[in-house]
Amino acid sequence: AQSVAQPEDQVNVAEGNPLTVKCTYSVSGNPYLFWYVQYPNRGLQFLLKYITGDNLVKGSYGFEAEFNKSQTSFHLKKPSALVSDSALYFCAVSPYNNAGNMLTFGGGTRLMVKP
Amino acid sequence: NAGVTQTPKFRILKIGQSMTLQCTQDMNHNYMYWYRQDPGMGLKLIYYSVGAGITDKGEVPNGYNVSRSTTEDFPLRLELAAPSQTSVYFCASSPVGNEQFFGPGTRLTVL
């Protein structure tokens, strides 16, 4: 069975500084990897995904993520954080051959960007 | 295009009561899902469906039932509500092999 680990419950960063939210995964075969963001009292919003191809994936709101197969990681990054980026971030994985397209989510990382 | 809609937004139930959480999507997605999110936790899959008439259990199906009579609708039924079912419930849909789109959620409290 697949699993996702987000080792940091919370990440604090100053506005304008780069940010990284970490994610490692375990899955049989090639993975589909996703990042979602959740703002207070809202549903999850899709940020970006890795299916195949370039290891660096660019997504919404200036976010990007780097797929590292040898380290089984998919860390979320942004060069310059905004206060409005403060939210809960979830990493998710799906096996390549998952007929139901089911996702396994990590526990989430709260990002706090301070002015 | 409303995406994924859920009703109600909030509900308080007494122990032992039943209710149905409604979910509708207008994107013609084959796949639909129900998740629960407990405070400070990630999402856990309750049930999913790969098409009308087909449903299957996820990680935490006990105490819930689903049906999928149309592509658009995927209601979640709670029978004999228990305090352990206090949670935020999210419905999602996706096309085949692609990202999931989430509804705004239903906040349920069982007292």
All structural domains of chain B, each given as residue ranges with its CATH number in brackets, are 4-96 (2.60.40.10)
Give the 3-state secondary structure of chain B.
Answer: CCCEEEECCEEEECCCCCEEEEEEECCCCCEEEEEEECCCCCEEEEEEEEECCEEEECCCCCCEEECCCCCCECCEEECCCCHHHCEEEEEEEECCCCCCEECCCEEEEEC
> How many structural domains are present in chain A?
1
Lowest-pLDDT choice from A9-18, A36-45, B40-49, B94-103: B94-103
Contacts of B104 in chain A (CB under 8 A): 42-43
**What does the pLDDT look like over A29-41, one tens digit per residue?**
888 899 999 998 8
**What does the pLDDT look like over A77-88, one tens digit per residue?**
999 999 999 999
Name the residue among A43, A100, A107 with its Cβ closest to that of B103. A43
**What does the pLDDT look like over B71-97, one tens digit per residue?**
999 999 998 999 999 999 999 999 876
**What is the residue range of A60's domain?**
3-114
CATH of the domain at A11: 2.60.40.10
For residue B9, give how far its alpha carbon lies from the nearest alpha carbon of chain A (Å). Answer: 10
Q: Which one of B99, B101, B107 would you mutate to disrupt binding with A, by most A Cβ within 10 Å of its Cβ? A: B99
